[in-house]
Amino acid sequence: MQLTREQITSVDGQNMWELIAGFPNQWDEAMKITEDLSLSVDSDKVNKICCVGMGGSAMGPDLIKAYSFGCCPHPVEVIRHYSVPNWVDENTLFIACSFSGNTEETLSALEQAREKGAQIIAITSGGTLLLNATKEEFDYIKIPGGIPPRAALGFSFVPLFRIFSYLGFLDEGEEALSETELFLSQQGELLSDISDNEALSLARELQDTLPIVYSDSTVMKPVNQRWRNQFEENSKTLSYGNVLPEMTHNEIVGWEQVVHLTGRLSVIMLFDKADDKRVRKRMRIVKDLIEDQVASIHVLSTRGESRLTRMFSLIQMADWTSFYLAIINNVDPTPIAKIDLLKSRLAEE
Ligand SMILES: O=P(O)(O)OC[C@H]1O[C@H](O)[C@H](O)[C@@H](O)[C@@H]1O
């Protein structure tokens, strides 16, 4: 059954539709903002990279970490906390990512990294982070503001791509950025056709279930995480996930005692052509072993040529699927009432 425009506009009060549909343009804008990037970081000194960010602003760092897994010569760590690890020092490239520039965990971690003499770059649209960057004169990339951080993934990821590329840490270049932009426009056209599209059909099959997302643990790990985060923030639907091979050493056994949930769980398996072959085989076996306990099981494969395009092909699918699930659930995808409530309670103490 198709959706109507009226159905969408009556639920999507703050126009998440526009943001998801506008993602390819955002990608293009982010490429333009960062095309003449120049940094004062001393790349010869850098021997490890530590990124900090929370929620939607940790997704860019997670993606660059996974994307550069096979080519970056240095370890990359992503911190989602007030504190930084003891190893952060003057040879650490420390990238602070906060869309608003006011997230307390990110600001606290940044302060510690400053004290330890790390080389700092900030990616933000404003707030205290931008203020600190200008006052304390560390490198920053200013991105446009005014939208929910999770809808600003192009603005948070492309600068990271450009930083890593500038420092010579990547094996794919500009052509991967352009291929991704073109791919996102073309796939976006298909996924925004409300008469019938893949994301909408998937959302319908997921309705009234708890979606569980499985994937390989290297390149696809943050893509897996994006699916869950978007189900949670956009669709207001609890989602769970895990990565292979690890889950085949413990979690798979847990499927023995979920009889009371049979029919209430759905599984999404994310595949990429570069997945480890043994992991791929494990994934297929897992599918066989759990198939009769789930409401539905969906195998999704990345599309496109470059690793970058492939990762973002399923990110865009996640964004649209979570959007449609929100509309089907009759909830506005934009507000995040529970996070707002939590923040106001935190401010009381
Ligand atoms: O990007 P920031 O402004 O630092 O925000 C990070 C996170 O903060 C809040 O919890 C928002 O509700 C999240 O959606 C967001 O991703």
65 carries an active-site annotation? no
ipTM more than 0.85?
yes
Residue 323, token pair as written in the block: 């959007």
For residue range 251-303, list pLDDT tens digits in order: 999 999 988 898 899 999 999 999 999 999 999 999 999 999 999 999 999 99
**For the CA of 106, the nearest atom of ligand 1:** 4
- In terms of Cα–Cα distance, which of 216, 225, 219 is closest to 70? 219
Q: What is the pLDDT of residue 283?
A: 98
User: ω before 245 within 30° of 0 (cis)?
Assistant: yes
The alpha-helical segments, DSSP class H, found in the chain are 5-11, 16-21, 23-33, 56-67, 104-115, 127-136, 153-166, 174-191, 198-206, 221-233, 251-254, 277-290, 307-328, 337-348
CA of residue 136 to ligand 1 center, whole Å: 24
CATH class of the domain at 196-328 = alpha beta
Backbone torsions φ then ψ of 100, nearest 5 degrees: -75, -30
249 carries an active-site annotation? yes
Question: Which of 59, 95, 100, 124 to mutate to test ligand 1, by most ligand atoms within 8 A of the CB atom?
Answer: 100
Q: Is the fold of 34-171 the same as that of 196-328? A: yes
Residue 206, token pair as written in the block: 């997921």
Residue 166 reports pLDDT greater than 70: yes
For residue range 32-89, list pLDDT tens digits in order: 999 999 999 998 999 999 999 999 999 999 999 999 999 999 999 999 999 999 999 9
Asked if residue 57 lies in contact with residue 105, where contact means CB atoms within 8 angstroms, the answer is no
Average pLDDT for 157-175: 96
Asked if residue 293 lies in contact with residue 257, where contact means CB atoms within 8 angstroms, the answer is no
Domain boundaries, the chain: 34-171, 196-328
Question: Which of 14, 82, 99, 160 to mutate to test ligand 1, by most ligand atoms within 8 A of the CB atom?
Answer: 99
CA of residue 240 to ligand 1 center, whole Å: 20
| DSSP class per residue in 299-338 | EEE--SSSHHHHHHHHHHHHHHHHHHHHHHTT--SS--HH
Give me the CATH topology for the region 34-171.
Rossmann fold (3.40.50)
Contacts of 256 (CB under 8 A, 6+ apart): none
For residue range 91-110, list pLDDT tens digits in order: 999 999 999 999 999 999 99
Q: Which helix (H) or strand (E) holds 49?
A: strand 48-52
- In terms of Cα–Cα distance, which of 128, 122, 138 is closest to 101? 128
- In terms of Cα–Cα distance, which of 271, 276, 255 is closest to 214? 271
Catalytic residue among 249, 273, 281, 338: 249
